[in-house]
Amino acid sequence: MPTRPAIDLKSELPFAQAGGSKPLPVLAHARIEATSKTYGWDGLYVEVGENQGWQVRDLVPVGHYIAINRLATDFHFEALQGDRWVRQIMPPGSLWIQPAGQAFSFNVTERAQWCGAIVQPSKLKALLGSDSAVEPVIGLLDETLGPAMLGLCAEVLRGGSSGRRFAEGMLTVIGTQLMRLFGEAQLAPKGGLTGRQRRIVTDHVDAHLDQTIQVSDLARLVGLSDAHFARAFKQTVGMAPHRFVVERRLERGKRMLADTEDSIALIASACGFADQAHFSRAFSQTFGLSPSALRKSFG
């Protein structure tokens, strides 16, 4: 078995700030056991390492990122979802998958022991003929991707002795399984949002209509700068993000007027309007009659 030289390895996993592409040394504090840097693998980079703590905001992987928990115990941390920090649990052998260019924010205080792989979408497309609509997932236990990641980990630790064909075979396995899990990607209009990005934004808006929704929050969800997101959103949806939020609020208010007996003031609050007057004014401008007049029309 090849013996790895005793050198001080540094993490070269390519993470960048949302809206950028320049790799940042965000895991400079990690202890790296081995990497695939010198193996000549096309479209695939793998590291094996561990670190104590990782506090990051609005990072994006430059390529699809897949990591496996190598600890014999559950791994706990917090991930920012919308405006809330949510506790996450990764059982032993489970996976974190983060799509290329999609932002994430983590608070990690425990020791992490991992094998992480950056997979280039262009290579997967060359191998499989299409793109996968990869979505973020934490704590995934998968009978195909799990062993594939452990196989890559073992190969890197033993010095890459199986050669480039091994790496290409593993990429084919990984790409095929990503396609099975997430389906085929839908192409975005030039300069617009993909179907997945639009769905992420719409789902977030609908889940937070009673709260303040900032363009920056929506942009972060899909890993874009505020200006880029605003342009892409308007091109795809046909209106600015702010107007889209207002219209979703008004549509919810309209449904609540028809389906509930809640007061107009309560409906206004539930739909994220400052007060009843604000809701009534926006409602009348959009639908041509006041909320009270619409409710009376229902008999």
- pLDDT 10s digits, 7-23: 679 999 999 998 777 88
Which one-letter DSSP state was computed for residue 185? P
Rounded Cα distance between 24 and 31, Å, is: 17
CATH of domain 15-182: 2.60.120.810
- The answer to whether 138 and 69 have CB atoms below 8 angstroms apart is no
Residue 132: is its pLDDT beyond 50? Answer: yes
The residue with tokens 């990497």 is 35
pLDDT in tens, 65-103: 999 999 999 999 999 887 789 899 999 999 999 999 889
In one-letter notation, the amino acid at residue 247 is: E
Residue 187 binned pLDDT confidence (cut-offs 50, 70, 90): low
The pTM of the whole model exceeds 0.75: no
Show me where the domains of the chain are located: 15-182, 195-297
Q: For tokens 């409602």, name the residue.
A: 283
In this predicted model, what pLDDT tens digit does every residue of 211-241 receive, in sequence order? 999 998 898 888 778 888 898 899 888 999 9
Give tens-digit pLDDT for 18-75.
877 788 999 999 999 999 999 999 999 999 999 999 999 999 999 999 999 999 999 9
Q: Give the span between the Cα atoms of 217 and 286, in whole angstroms.
A: 26
Sign of the CA dihedral running 134, 135, 138, 141: negative
195-297, superfamily in CATH? Answer: Homeodomain-like (1.10.10.60)
Higher pLDDT: 193 or 256? It is: 256
pLDDT (0 to 100) of residue 299:
66
Distance (Å) of CA 207 to CA 79, 83, 107, 112, 203: 18, 11, 23, 32, 6
Tally helices (H) and strands (E) across the chain: 10, 9
- pLDDT tens profile 149-168: 999 999 999 998 888 899 99
Residue 2 has pLDDT above 80, yes or no: no
